[in-house]
Structure 1
Amino acid sequence: METNLFYNEPYHELTRDNYPLLLGASKFCPKRLFCKGTLPSADKIGIAMVGTRRPTASAEELCRRLVASLKGTNAIVISGLAQGIDCYCHKAALDAEIPTTAVLAQGLDAKIDGERATIAERILQAGGALLSEYEGDTPAYKGNFIARNRIISGLSQATLVVQSRQKGGALLTAQFCLDEEKLLLAIPGNFDCDLYSGTNALLDSGRAKPVFIPESLRSVAGVPFLEGAKIEQLTTCGVQLSSAAQKVFDRFNGFRKTFSELQEDFDFKAPELLAILTELEISGLVTSKDNFQFYFNGA
């Protein structure tokens, strides 16, 4: 059964200065881009989530937990509306009421079947967008998928490869991400599982940063909460931060950082930085389980 919005809503061509998110400034910016639905606002942070069409049995729950970590932020989930990981991520975003945009490897008037059609319809109903560089009812030719992947990466601040074989199409998206020196993330998995051979290879080579716990995706990707703790709330409780501690907190509110990363951003000597972190921990603004990773206000 054909859905109403997807088949009845007309698409329109975007002007180059109206390309969404980071795409207009990307080296992979397409010459033409067509859209159905509502483009994401300029303040959104694109997080690409890609992977195999034939994932493991637990992949849908994994995607749900990964996407849920973005709740309460300005993140928008970008994927390609392919079966498997792509659809799981779009669906998880819709269920969590997180914005999502799909980049198609076919024209926006070309037919979509099954669950993919349902998800495309839901994206439009939720105020999201479907994008393609192909006009009308252009079919999804094999070469279109590689071209589609460069747009997924071009839109996004970071790309996460959830599951992939060593020659999976998601690894092409990963390479586009690396070509623009953007943040590449990957989920580590069982070394005996072929569906993690691609992500494990990215991690083993140092090309990608690991996301060990699904709920930490937001902080690893560097996406802050929209509503962080307010310094004003502390002063009403009699807590006064030093100027140095307030400077560090203001810079990293909502993020997770290692001690080395903090040293790179500030010229504090190690004892001084430790004293600042202790002050923030006593104030309840920073937590650390191992004195290596520091979580600023629930990061």
Structure 2
Amino acid sequence: MLSARNKKFLHAILLTGAEYDTVQKILETIGSLESAWRATASELESAGVGRERAEAIAGVQKSLDPDDEMRKLVGQMIALVARDDPEFPKELLEIPSPPFTLYIKGRLTTRKPRLAVVGTRKATIYGKQACEKIIHDLADKTDLEIVSGLAQGIDTEAHRHALKNNLKTIGVLGSGIDRQSFFPYENWNLAEEIIRKGGAVISEYPPGTPALKHHFPARNRIISGLALATLVVEAPEKSGALITANFALEQGRDVLAIPGQMFSLNALGVHRLIQSGAKLVTSADDIIDELGLERKSISQKAETLLTDQKEKIILSILAEPQSVDDIKLKAGLTTPEIVSCLTLLELKGFIRPMGQNKFQRVS
């Protein structure tokens, strides 16, 4: 396991712009991150680190204090989780080339199943509506987390509808997660809402790292790696969403796809996935059945969807058929309150009439 001491040297090396391949080379040839941090440029080159990167690491050794940089992370409320830390997502350890570190703002839970939802940045009305419908119905029937890339288009829709339906969501960036380097900047407020509502924003890149083109394919392996399956909503023939789907296949994860409109360019990539064996999805039930997800009980649905305390009290009483008078005795509510709540609970699908003016909770 990386000690706190080694972790700070890893962070310092990453701050020089070093990425996965450089760290891998250092660990294979030098072995110690501390030794690599203290090495000269020529020593790093001899170990197989490219000249430009070797000079970058050696060039900041006197001006960059690893301890100060770790304190800055704390000040920014950013957690640095290394690959062998117990908090590191176990799902990522199962994929080829898992990231050495994750920079995390918020809570990255490990208890719930996750679904990656990805698609084009140029989402159509159809794609947005499909994304909204699927996530709404998933939230109604099961308890999972939504993973996406916080990009414009389908990613944004996935995060927003997860939040709207009280699902935790995780945004994976191709930049640093600090405000200055966050990309796309238009989604900064969305990222803050994700964190505020119990989700997380993560990146394998340290604060201050700009969004470079090659970061996004690398980022996509984390999106698919965190999830049981990847759902592609809309994707043209050349799309980052298809890269994510390919990573999912390489990682042994399921790929799901919502069919598009016949004449839409945004359907070409999705239809190619379906022709290649991706599971065709037209409802939340398709996803639940394909992944074997546990369906919510009525009490779990009520906890998520009901905000009125009187409705919750009445629902808890209706495990067996009860009349209005029965409920009045047990709940301590007035008849008008009970009748109003029963009407709303029936409309919401939580209870059903049983005859003889009695009602029972739907099982």
Pairwise CA distance, 1:143: 0.3
SS in 1 for 2:152: coil
Q: CA RMSD in A?
A: 2.3
The reply on whether 1:205 has 2:276 as its aligned counterpart is: yes
- Give distance in 1, aligned partners of 2:149 and 2:248: 15
- Give distance in 2, aligned partners of 1:227 and 1:161: 28
Q: Deviations over 1:21-59 (max 9, x none)?
A: 51132224111211011111x221110000000011232
| Runs of at least 5 residues in structure 1 that lack an aligned partner in the other structure | 1-7, 230-235, 238-296
**1:156–1:103 distance in 2 versus 1, CA, 3 Å:** same
Q: Deviations over 1:224-248 (max 9, x none)?
A: 214289xxxxxx99xxxxxxxxxxx
**Mean CA deviation greater in 64-73 or 182-191:** 64-73
The reply on whether 1:134 has 2:202 as its aligned counterpart is: no
1:180 pairs, out of 226, 246, 251, with 251
- Give distance in 2, aligned partners of 1:205 and 1:228: 38
The reply on whether 1:119 has 2:190 as its aligned counterpart is: yes
Pairwise CA distance, 1:114: 5.6
1:152 pairs, out of 223, 235, 244, with 223
SS in 2 for 1:22: helix
> What is the one-letter code of the residue matched to 1:144?
H
8 Å CA contact 2:148, 2:170 repeated in 1: yes
> What is the one-letter code of the residue matched to 1:123?
I
SS in 2 for 1:59: helix
SS in 1 for 2:138: coil
8 Å CA contact 1:46, 1:77 repeated in 2: yes
Greater RCO (Cα-Cα under 8 Å, separation 6 or more): 1
Pairwise CA distance, 1:190: 2.2
Q: Normalised by the size of structure 2, how large is the TM-score?
A: 0.58
> What is the one-letter code of the residue matched to 2:291?
A
Identify the residue that residue 81 of structure 1 maps to in structure 2: 150
Q: Deviations over 1:107-165 (max 9, x none)?
A: 11124466411210110110110110000110000000000000001101100011001
8 Å CA contact 1:163, 1:196 repeated in 2: yes
Alignment of 1:32-47 (within 5 A): 32-40=101-109, 42-47=110-115
**1:50–1:21 distance in 2 versus 1, CA, 3 Å:** farther
Alignment of 1:150-299 (within 5 A): 150-206=221-277, 208-213=278-283, 216-227=286-297
Larger Rg: 2
Identify the residue that residue 14 of structure 1 maps to in structure 2: 81
Identify the residue that residue 292 of structure 1 maps to in structure 2: none
> What is the one-letter code of the residue matched to 2:282?
F
Q: Deviations over 1:208-260 (max 9, x none)?
A: 1100235643333332214289xxxxxx99xxxxxxxxxxxxxxxxxxxxxxx
- Give distance in 1, aligned partners of 2:111 and 2:159: 20
- Give distance in 1, aligned partners of 2:221 and 2:195: 22
**1:224–1:75 distance in 2 versus 1, CA, 3 Å:** same
Identify the residue that residue 129 of structure 2 maps to in structure 1: 61
**Mean CA deviation greater in 209-218 or 84-93:** 209-218
**1:146–1:14 distance in 2 versus 1, CA, 3 Å:** same
SS in 2 for 1:65: helix
8 Å CA contact 1:80, 1:102 repeated in 2: yes
- Give distance in 2, aligned partners of 1:158 and 1:60: 20
8 Å CA contact 1:69, 1:218 repeated in 2: no
8 Å CA contact 1:48, 1:160 repeated in 2: yes
8 Å CA contact 2:173, 2:183 repeated in 1: no
**Mean CA deviation greater in 133-142 or 184-193:** 184-193
1:70 pairs, out of 130, 138, 159, with 138
Q: Normalised by the size of structure 1, how large is the TM-score?
A: 0.69
Pairwise CA distance, 1:74: 3.1
Identify the residue that residue 3 of structure 1 maps to in structure 2: none
The alignment covers a number of residue pairs equal to: 224
| Runs of at least 5 residues in structure 2 that lack an aligned partner in the other structure | 1-74, 300-319, 322-361
Which structure is higher in helix share?
2
- Matched-pair identity in %: 38
- Give distance in 1, aligned partners of 2:235 and 2:182: 27
